[in-house]
Structures are given as C-alpha cells and as structure tokens.
Amino acid sequence: MTVTPNLSRANDNSDPTLKAEISNQIKQPTRLSPERCRSSRCRVSSPIVSLFTYRRTSFLAVIDYSSIKMAGPAPFVDMGKKAKDLLTKDYNFDQKFTLTMLSSTGMGLTATGLKKDQIFFGDINTVYKSGNTTVDVKVDTYSNVSTKLTVNDVWPCSKAALSFRIPDHKSGKLDVQYLHPHAAIDSSIGLNPTPLLELSATIGSKELSLGGEVGFDTASASCTKYTAGIGLNKPDFSVALLLTDKGQALKASYIHSVNPFTCVAAEMTHRFSTYENNFSIGSSHAVDPFTVVKTRFSDNGKVAMLCQREWRPKSLITVSAEYDPKAVNASPKMGLALALKP
C-alpha cells in the first residue's frame, strides 16, 4: 500500500514528536477510515483520502489502492496457468508480425499479420482506456468486428465486461468478476434467447486454493462442462491438480523456479476411460537480460525449442522450431515472430 501524506502542519520544521505520531498513524491501517472499499483485493483507479486527528488537528492521508497486490486466490481459469504458459506461450511455427502503437491519450493500436502455409490472416485491434472503462475493438480480414467493453469497479472489487461480434447477432456475452480476500468468482451469460451459462469460483488464499467451474446450455438443458481443481502456490514453485472433461481426465501441472534465471515445468494428463497418459516437460532459461531460451519435450516424441530476443525496448523477435520424429517425410517446423512497439 502506498500512503502519501498531505499534511497541513507537519512540514520540515515541525515538532519531531508530531511527525512521528503522524507516521505511526499512517502505518496503522486500523487508525484510518477509507471512504471506499478497504479490502486488500480492491483495485480502484483513484486514491482514497482518509482523515485522522492528532491533538485536535485534522490531517489527510492519501491511500493509493491501485498499488496493492492481490492477497486472495486467483480466478479458477488461472489455476495451472504458469506451467501451461511456460510450455506453450510464444511458440509459433508460422510467420507472424505485430505492430503496437500507444498514445498519451489512452488509445492503443495493434496490427497483426499471420501467414500460415499459403494463407494470410490479419487483424487491427484498437484499445481505448478512460478512467475505469476500457473499449476494445478488433477487425479481422473476414470483416468480423469484435467489441468488448470492460468496466472496473462497477461495485467495489468487481469487474464487468460486455462483448459481442458482428455480424453474429447471437455472440453477445456478459462477464462479471468479483474478487475477495478469500474468494474469486467469475460468471458469464450469453445474451440470446437460449444462453450458455458459466460459473467458476475459487476459495482459499493466495497460496492454497480450491475451486471449480460449471457450464450449462439452456438450449439442451444439459451441462457442457464441470471441472474441479486444487492449487498450491509458493514463491519458488506452483502445483495444480484438475479433474477435467466432466470427470473423465485428471491433469496435474508443476512449475519450479530453480534459480532467478531458470524455470522448469511439467504437465501430465491421465484419461480414465482409455487409460491413456500424456505429458510434456519444458524449461525456460534467461541467457541474459534480453534473451530467453525455452525447450519442450512431449510424450509423442516432439521436441521444440524457442529463442526470444528483446533487440530494443519492448520489441521482440522470436524464432521457434519443432521436430517430429514420426513425420519422416516432413521437414522440421520453423517459425518467426516479430513484435514491434515503438
């Protein structure tokens, strides 16, 4: 928590006893009375002014809750995400180009092009932020327009997002998220006559959490998914155990930080119906402050490697390669991704 005193009497020439007493009161949250949510999970966009009194003199303390780190459990969708990101994120076996431009007015423009085999895909994404509101509009090469409106702090510690895609008139969806020091709840409902309902929740703490998610299709009156999981997070490792595919599969993931430069991760899935096991193991190593090398090996024999270089601030070039020993007549896959942010 960042506490910035705005005091009318405690200047550089003030009584040291007065200044010490004010500092002690500022350091003790119980002595302050914020006018808005006091939860450590709150993320408000503006500072909160609190009032306390010392010897019949009132003073103001500004508490910036936007700098407070989350202390509660992460949303259920993030359970096991660290290991999955190490094993899959940034791997690209095609040609991809991304250009991002930001302005001081809160608007950002991102142009993305992807060449897959002999087909080219592209989109232009515009993001505008103003206060607690973010508007995200994307137009792709097939003339689809995707729009998402996100509002933070609709009520304390919450977020709501409205999204839709044109010309698909049944694609409207409303997402609501609520974060609490001991729980995280996400809900989603389709904005059409027969909506798809989804609900996920986790309870516990930042270190140990238990959660689940369920999806219900009102058109067929059936459950589309139900998943349960438990996660354990420590400063140097993270473990997640998930029961997925309507109870038909058990997935375990683990990521460990060996040292400040090297991480290793593993993910394994067991299917009860076929007794089939699948696994992937990988590593990430920072060669220097600007270069990262990642490796991955899967049970099907595929071996992948990635090298990412930050050749200028916030601009990345990534080279990926994958070799499949079972594809005798196919050459190894190669990919190049260039991301520019002037």
More confident of the two residues 317 and 38: 317
Q: Please say if the pLDDT value at position 336 is more than 50.
A: yes
Q: Please say if the pLDDT value at position 18 is more than 60.
A: no
Question: What is the CATH classification number for the domain harbouring 232?
Answer: 2.40.160.10
The whole domain housing 333 covers 76-340
Predicted confidence band of residue 304 (pLDDT cuts 50, 70, 90)? very high
If we measure between CA atoms, which residue out of 302, 230, 294, 241 comes closest to residue 267?
A: 241
pLDDT > 90 in the chain, percent: 68
Distance CA 235, CA 255 (A): 11
Predicted confidence band of residue 70 (pLDDT cuts 50, 70, 90)? low
pLDDT at 30: 40
Distance CA 324, CA 301 (A): 6
Number of domains, the chain: 1
Residue 314 lies in a domain: yes
Residue 204 lies in a domain: yes
In tens, the pLDDT along 74-121 reads 999 999 999 999 999 999 999 999 999 988 888 999 999 999 888 999
pLDDT at 16: 53
If we measure between CA atoms, which residue out of 81, 84, 90, 80 comes closest to residue 294?
A: 90
Mean pLDDT of 30-41: 38
Residue 143 lies in a domain: yes
Any bridge partners for residue 174, and if so which? Answer: 162, 189
Mean pLDDT of 155-182: 93
Question: CB–CB of 252/238 below 8 Å?
Answer: no
Which tokens in the block code for residue 143?
Answer: 């003339």
If we measure between CA atoms, which residue out of 59, 34, 58 comes closest to residue 48?
A: 34
Average pLDDT for the chain: 83
CB atoms near residue 28 (< 10 Å): 10
Predicted confidence band of residue 173 (pLDDT cuts 50, 70, 90)? very high
pLDDT at 127: 95
Range with the lowest mean pLDDT among 35-49, 197-211, 263-277, 281-295? 35-49
Question: CB–CB of 235/215 below 8 Å?
Answer: no
In tens, the pLDDT along 257-290 reads 999 999 999 999 999 999 999 999 999 999 999 9
Residue 33 lies in a domain: no
| Cβ-Cβ contacts under 8 Å for 73 (sequence gap 6 or more) | 182, 183, 184, 202, 203, 204, 205, 206, 209, 211, 231
Q: Please say if the pLDDT value at position 44 is more than 80.
A: no
pLDDT at 331: 87
Which tokens in the block code for residue 181?
Answer: 């020091």
pLDDT > 70 in the chain, percent: 80
Phi/psi at 83 (5° precision): -65, -40
Predicted confidence band of residue 185 (pLDDT cuts 50, 70, 90)? very high
pLDDT at 105: 83
pLDDT at 286: 95
Mean pLDDT of 140-166: 93
pLDDT at 217: 94
Q: Please say if the pLDDT value at position 26 is more than 80.
A: no
pLDDT at 20: 56
For residue 294, which amino acid is it? K
Distance CA 236, CA 264 (A): 11
Q: What is the DSSP string of 106-157?
A: SEEEEEEEEEETTEEEEEEEEEEEETTEEEEEEEETT--EEEEEEEE-SSTT
Most confident of the ranges 61-75, 98-112, 175-189: 175-189
- Cα 154 to chain center, whole Å? 20
Q: Please say if the pLDDT value at position 35 is more than 90.
A: no
In tens, the pLDDT along 227-268 reads 999 999 999 999 999 999 999 999 999 999 999 999 999 999
Residue 230 lies in a domain: yes
If we measure between CA atoms, which residue out of 102, 139, 100 comes closest to residue 122?
A: 139
Residue 44 lies in a domain: no
pLDDT at 150: 96
